Amino acid sequence: MVQPAPLQFLPLPTSISPSFWHRLTSLKLHHLGLDDKSVPIKGCYSLGRTVHDKLTGDSVGISGSLELDEGSFDLDVGDGTSAPSPHRDHFVLRGVLRNYNTIEEFKRADKAKLLSDLGDQIWSAIRHPSPETTLADLNPFLMITFADLKKYRYCYWCAIPALVQKPGWEIVEGWRKCDEPALEQIDASVALLSADGVTAPLHAFATFWARTPPEERTLVFNDPSSHPTALGWSVRNALTFLAHSPSPLDPPVHRLHIISRREGKTLSCVVRLPESVEEALTVRPAVVGWEKNDAGKLGPRMADLAPLMDPTRLADQAVDLNLQLMRWRILPSLDLDKIKKTRCLLLGAGTLGCYVARTLMAWGVRKMTLVDSSTVSFSNPVRQPLFEFEDSLEGGKPKAAAAAAALKRIYPGVDATGVSLSVPMPGHPIPPSSLESVRADVIKLDQLFEEHDVVYLLMDSRESRWLPTVMGAAKEKLVINVALGFDTFLAMRHGLPPSSDAPILAPSPGSPFRGKLGCYYCNDVVAPQDSLTDRTLDQMCTVTRPGIAAIASATAVELMVS
Q: Which residues bind a second copy (CB under 8 A)?
A: 33-34, 101-105, 148-151, 311-312, 314-315, 317-319, 321-322, 325-326, 328-330, 355, 358-359, 361-363, 377-379, 381-383, 385, 387-390, 392-393, 409-412, 486, 533-538, 540, 542-543, 545-548, 550-551, 553-555, 557-558, 561
496 φ/ψ angles, rounded to the nearest 5 degrees: -150, 125
Task: Give long-range contacts, CB 8 A cutoff, 24+ apart: 271-277.
Answer: 271/7, 271/169, 271/170, 271/171, 271/172, 271/174, 271/239, 272/4, 272/169, 272/170, 272/172, 273/165, 273/167, 273/168, 273/169, 273/170, 273/243, 274/167, 274/170, 276/167, 277/165, 277/167, 277/243
**Alpha carbon 442 to chain centroid distance?**
46
Of 89 and 148, which has the nearer Cβ to a second copy? 148
Residue 354 annotated to the active site: no
Of 18 and 174, which has the nearer Cβ to a second copy? 18
Of 61 and 427, which has the nearer Cβ to a second copy? 427
CB of 63 to a second copy, least distance (A): 35
Q: What is the DSSP letter of 258?
A: E
Rounded to an integer, what distance in angstroms lies between the CA atom of residue 440 and that of residue 167?
93
Of 263 and 391, which has the nearer Cβ to a second copy? 391
Strands 267-272 and 170-177: antiparallel
188 φ/ψ angles, rounded to the nearest 5 degrees: -60, 150
CB of 118 to a second copy, least distance (A): 26
Q: What is the DSSP letter of 31?
A: I
CB of 550 to a second copy, least distance (A): 4
Handedness of CA 321, 322, 323, 326 (dihedral sign): positive
Of 312 and 529, which has the nearer Cβ to a second copy? 312
Of 277 and 314, which has the nearer Cβ to a second copy? 314
Rounded to an integer, what distance in angstroms lies between the CA atom of residue 50 and that of residue 262?
8
Of 115 and 561, which has the nearer Cβ to a second copy? 561
User: How many degrees, rounded to 5, is the angle at CA 172 between CA 171 and CA 174?
Assistant: 75
Q: Which residues pair with 14 in a beta bridge?
A: 66
Rounded to an integer, what distance in angstroms lies between the CA atom of residue 83 and that of residue 148?
35
3-state SS, 337-360, equals HHHHHCEEEEECCCHHHHHHHHHH
CB 469 within 8 A of CB 457: yes
Strands 170-177 and 5-6: antiparallel
Of 73 and 411, which has the nearer Cβ to a second copy? 411
CB of 355 to a second copy, least distance (A): 7
CB of 361 to a second copy, least distance (A): 5
Strands 255-261 and 267-272: antiparallel
Residue whose C-alpha is closest to residue 338's, from 327, 330, 348, 329:
327
Active-site pick, 44, 158, 269, 541: 541
DSSP 285-316: PPEEEEPB-TTSSBS-EEEE-GGGS-HHHHHH
CB 66 within 8 A of CB 141: yes
Rounded to an integer, what distance in angstroms lies between the CA atom of residue 498 and that of residue 212?
80
CB of 542 to a second copy, least distance (A): 5
CB of 306 to a second copy, least distance (A): 8
Rounded to an integer, what distance in angstroms lies between the CA atom of residue 332 and that of residue 328?
6
CB of 41 to a second copy, least distance (A): 21
- Which residues are marked as active site? 541
